[in-house]
């Protein structure tokens, strides 16, 4: 089974191009759903795609440890029910990290489950807990240096540079970790 995408630590970079599908899913699931609270920066369509549990977790603008874990577990369970298993890589630096089977992406199960159970919970959690794990930064810098790329910056900047250059986060972690 091939694993091609890696959500963390930059899920927003991997999720931006999926707005059209998100809207289509929203229209299917929306029904008579209400919109998000006024202080949440989501469209009614984005809000309506989310499970009631995810909505409850983010509606106050804060995600607790319990809500973050519950959202992740619901996402993993949803993929499992669709017949797919993540490559779970642990939680270094406080963030769930995982590889997604290409087949789950191709079938649309990854996107459906992620939007339904985890997308906003994950985004809010990451905003609340800026990532800066020195051990991970050392690995990222080694990977970038091996490719002759700039090794300065925060962990998010280093990760974004790896994603932009198609080096592959998982490959870097496996080779230098």
Q: What is the pLDDT of residues 2-36, one digit of tens each?
A: 444 344 433 332 332 233 333 333 333 333 445 66
Instruction: Decide: helix, strand or coil at residue 87.
Output: strand
pLDDT at 131: 65
> Crossing angle of helices 19-30/109-117, nearest 10°?
70
Q: How far apart are CA 93 and CA 53, in angstroms?
A: 25
Nearest in space to 54 (alpha carbons), one of 33, 68, 34: 68
pLDDT in tens, 73-114: 999 999 999 999 998 888 877 888 888 999 999 999 999 999
- Least confident stretch, 70-74, 134-138, 145-149: 134-138
- What mean pLDDT, rounded, does the chain reach? 77
Measure the CA–CA gap between 116 and 25, rounded to whole angstroms.
9
Any residues with CB less than 8 A from the CB of 2 and at least 6 apart, and which?
A: 101, 102, 103
Token pair of 57, please?
Answer: 């977790």
What's the number of CA atoms in the CB half-sphere (13 Å) around residue 69? 6
Closest CA to 23 of 45, 55, 52: 45
Could you give phi then psi for residue 2, rounded to 5 degrees? -90, 140
State pTM to two decimals: 0.60
């Amino acid at each position: 089974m091939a694993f091609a995408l890696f959500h963390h630590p930059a899920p927003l970079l991997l999720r931006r191009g999926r707005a059209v599908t998100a809207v289509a899913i929203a229209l299917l699931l929306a029904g008579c759903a209400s919109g998000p609270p006024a202080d949440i920066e989501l469209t009614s369509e984005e809000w309506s795609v989310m499970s009631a549990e995810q909505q409850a977790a983010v509606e106050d603008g804060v995600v607790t440890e319990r809500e973050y874990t519950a959202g992740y577990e619901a996402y993993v369970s949803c993929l499992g029910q669709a017949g797919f298993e993540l490559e779970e890589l642990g939680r270094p630096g406080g963030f769930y990290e995982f590889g997604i089977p290409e087949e789950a992406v191709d079938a649309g199960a990854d996107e459906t489950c992620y939007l339904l159970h985890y997308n906003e919970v994950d985004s809010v959690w990451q905003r609340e807990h800026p990532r800066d794990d020195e051990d991970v930064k050392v690995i990222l810098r080694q990977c970038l240096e091996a490719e002759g790329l700039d090794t300065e910056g925060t962990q998010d900047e280093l990760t974004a540079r790896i994603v932009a250059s198609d080096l592959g986060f998982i490959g870097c972690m496996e080779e230098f970790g």
